[in-house]
């Protein structure tokens, strides 16, 4: 069942629409109440209560947290929003649909079709500073979409790499890197498309992930399309672990070795490791390890190989890891599964953000 709430922020008006498998009918006294929210979770005890607004409590808690951290804006939020886009809604689907088309054209070398799209996106989303090109758009979108915590992780990686960003040190690595750009581009684009195709479910926890927060205890999500999301964690794990080789090579350089010389391995040997084994090479650099915090190989195996079962009534996902699902059964709440999937996705996009920064500085071709 799909319903939508349309909001006109200029006229201060809203209206509901029955989109799929639903219809509007007159209100019936005593009929069951079902609370839904596209961007917040619902406390279990309030799922069927009338005249309650769980998101208001959660927004209040968030404001208190930000105030304690000294992160509340000095200007009213409405003024800040008006600088960029009038009252930007707390999701990114609309911009993604426009960016996806431009990114696809860029990947296919259709640069002559991009000028009008960049101008329209600048007018709609970035009035205060026009977009330069598609890499600029991707970087700005990922910066806004990923949240403060992942911004810190990106900055930490950049700070570690700043001393190495010299031509005589970086030249050999860049010669290797440009040979991998097509594969990296395909991976990043495909997982971004996959995430936003499933955003009705991921959108419920996306902002918790971006803030580095856990879900409130006892909360439920109101969209549970497990058939669509059940393989996402495993798919994203595959892509992230394939792309994390760049951090492993950076770790070699920070240790004073050539980019392709590991402590006990050559690069060709590292690339033969199973995907779960590739993370050990970054653990010596805390800033790199922090960007790889979410990588659960057991959940990846269950997700990637269809070893999961979902109970809609309890919102619990049961899974077994190991060959043929032979391991002991474990359980995870569906909301937690979505949160961890969002985290590994945001890690992947943060890695892409750093690569875009690196390519901008070195004038290398970006992985888009």
Domain count, the chain: 1
Measure the CA–CA gap between 139 and 307, rounded to whole angstroms. 35
The pLDDT score that the predictor gives to residue 324 is 56
Q: At residue 46, does pLDDT exceed 90?
A: no
| pLDDT tens figures, 100-142 | 999 999 999 999 999 999 999 999 888 889 999 999 999 999 9
State mean pLDDT over 58-63: 71
In a domain, 94, yes or no: no
In a domain, 276, yes or no: yes
In a domain, 9, yes or no: no
Measure the CA–CA gap between 359 and 351, rounded to whole angstroms. 12
In a domain, 232, yes or no: yes
Measure the CA–CA gap between 55 and 221, rounded to whole angstroms. 12
In a domain, 213, yes or no: yes
- 232-243 and 297-304 are packed helices; what angle lies between their axes, rounded to 10 degrees? 120
Measure the CA–CA gap between 3 and 27, rounded to whole angstroms. 16
| pLDDT tens figures, 263-296 | 999 999 999 999 889 999 999 999 999 999 999 9
In a domain, 13, yes or no: no
Q: Hey, which residues does 261 pair with through a beta bridge?
A: 266
Q: At residue 355, does pLDDT exceed 60?
A: yes
Indicate the pairing of strand 42-43 with strand 219-220: antiparallel
In a domain, 347, yes or no: yes
State mean pLDDT over 206-213: 90
Measure the CA–CA gap between 210 and 228, rounded to whole angstroms. 22
Residue 71 exposure: Cα atoms within 13 Å on the Cβ side: 11
| pLDDT tens figures, 174-185 | 999 999 999 999
For the whole model, what pTM was predicted?
0.87
Give 77: exposed, middle or buried? Use CB within 10 Å, 0-12, 13-18, 19+: exposed
Residue 85's pLDDT band (cuts 50, 70, 90): very low
Domain, as residue range, for 265: 147-362
| pLDDT tens figures, 218-260 | 888 999 999 999 999 999 999 999 999 999 999 999 999 999 9
| Count of other CB atoms within 10 angstroms of residue 210 | 19
The DSSP element (H or E) to which 8 belongs, if any, is strand 2-8
Q: At residue 327, does pLDDT exceed 80?
A: no
């Amino acid at each position: 069942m799909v319903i939508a709430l349309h909001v006109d922020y200029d006229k201060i008006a809203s209206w509901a629409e029955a989109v799929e498998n639903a219809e509007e009918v007159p209100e019936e006294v005593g009929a069951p109440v079902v609370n839904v929210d596209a961007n917040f979770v619902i406390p279990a005890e309030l799922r069927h209560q009338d005249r309650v607004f769980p998101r208001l409590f959660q927004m209040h808690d968030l404001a208190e947290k930000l105030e304690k951290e000294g992160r509340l804006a000095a200007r009213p939020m409405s003024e800040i929003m008006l600088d960029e886009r009038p009252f930007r809604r707390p999701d990114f689907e609309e911009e993604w649909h426009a960016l996806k088309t431009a990114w696809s054209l860029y990947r296919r070398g259709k640069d002559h079709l991009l000028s009008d799209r960049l101008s329209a996106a600048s007018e709609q989303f970035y009035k205060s500073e026009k977009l330069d090109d598609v890499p600029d758009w991707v970087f700005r979108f990922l910066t806004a979409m990923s949240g403060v915590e992942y911004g810190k992780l990106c900055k930490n990686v950049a700070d570690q790499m700043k001393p190495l960003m010299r031509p005589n040190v970086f030249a050999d690595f860049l010669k290797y890197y440009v040979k991998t750009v097509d594969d990296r581009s395909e991976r990043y684009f495909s997982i971004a498309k996959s995430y936003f195709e499933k955003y009705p479910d991921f959108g419920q926890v996306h902002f918790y992930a971006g803030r580095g927060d856990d879900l409130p205890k006892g909360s439920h999500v109101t969209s549970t399309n497990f058939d669509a999301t059940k393989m996402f964690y495993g798919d994203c794990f595959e892509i992230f672990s394939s792309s994390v080789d760049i951090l492993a090579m950076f770790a070699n350089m920070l240790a004073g070795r050539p980019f392709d010389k590991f402590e006990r391995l050559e690069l060709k040997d590292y690339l033969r490791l199973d995907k779960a084994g590739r993370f050990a090479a970054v653990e010596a650099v805390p800033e790199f390890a922090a960007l790889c915090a979410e990588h659960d190989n057991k959940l990846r195996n269950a997700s990637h190989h269809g070893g999961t079962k979902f109970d809609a009534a309890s919102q619990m996902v049961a899974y077994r890891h190991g060959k043929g699902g032979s391991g002991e059964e474990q359980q995870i709440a569906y909301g937690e599964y979505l949160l961890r999937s969002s985290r590994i996705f945001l890690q992947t996009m943060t890695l892409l953000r750093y690569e875009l920064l690196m390519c901008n500085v070195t004038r290398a071709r970006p992985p888009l």
